[in-house]
Amino acid sequence: MLKVREARSLLRDHGYVPRRGKGSHEIWTHPADPGDPVILCDRAGADIHHYQQLRIRRLQKLHQKGA
């Protein structure tokens, strides 16, 4: 399972920019598509939810095709 800190690193590597959300939530947006954010919740050492991991993997594939 992917950790929150690993997900942050992957998002940052693909050009996503974080901003604070409510509570422990972080909202990550890409400058090219700000209307499609990725929301992470939890602490850095915690596992991300399975649906968050699937979304990040899909974004990785999209960015690899575009490169």
Each residue's pLDDT tens digit, 24-40: 899 999 998 888 899 99
Flag whether the pTM goes above 0.95: no
Instruction: Report if residue 67 sits inside a domain.
Output: no
Q: How many domains does the chain have?
A: 1
Phi, psi (degrees; rounded to nearest 5) at 56 = -65, -40
In angstroms, what is the C-alpha Rg of the chain? 11
Instruction: Report if residue 66 sits inside a domain.
Output: no
Instruction: Report if residue 12 sits inside a domain.
Output: yes
Predicted local distance difference test score (pLDDT) of residue 1: 84
Instruction: Report if residue 45 sits inside a domain.
Output: yes
Phi, psi (degrees; rounded to nearest 5) at 2 = -80, 140
Mean pLDDT for the chain overall: 87
Q: Single out the residue of 11, 5, 1, 7 nearest to residue 63, CA to CA.
A: 11
Instruction: Report if residue 33 sits inside a domain.
Output: yes
Question: What range defines the domain where residue 19 resides?
Answer: 4-61
CATH of the domain at 33: 3.30.920
